[in-house]
Amino acid sequence: MLTSGELAMAQSLFKDSVDYTKIKIHSEEYLPFGLQPDNTAMTPNGEMYFNPDYYKEDFSLLPNDQHWFMHEMVHVWQYQLGYWVRLHGLLLHPGTLWGLLGDPYQYELKPGDKLQDFNMEQQGDIIADYYCWSTNNATRSASGRRVPSIDAYKNVLGDFLSNPNDRKLLP
């Protein structure tokens, strides 16, 4: 169950596109046998899984926690709109283990880009970066990457911000 702060954060962007009553945040890893990196959350099935050392009782209290929560909320949103988060995550991440595909989170916002042009992890960071920029005036992402202007985000996220229920926004 989400805290009131987490719920307010999520509703500010995802509006009624998500069934918030179905969201659970676990203080345990999703992958067995320690296969999930400790500093990595996973949201493969509409529920968030954090290593107990990184789990927070309320992710809405600090900016870095807000970013992480909103990134994982994007995967909840993707999942609830019918995107196969588990499968696409499996396909996207193995190459990063050996440096074959680069960083799946890295993105660049260019004129004409739309949210659906980005992979599932880029969407997570774009929306989380936008949230932190618009609420905390953050000029750097949680990863330390300098974020572009708020207008660049609004251009990419325009359709999402007006109608997050649209499945065409999925990667």
| 72 given a catalytic annotation | yes
Contact (Cβ atoms closer than 8 angstroms) between residue 60 and residue 7:
no
Catalytic option among 28, 29, 57, 72: 72
Contact (Cβ atoms closer than 8 angstroms) between residue 126 and residue 157:
yes
Indicate which residues carry an active-site annotation: 72
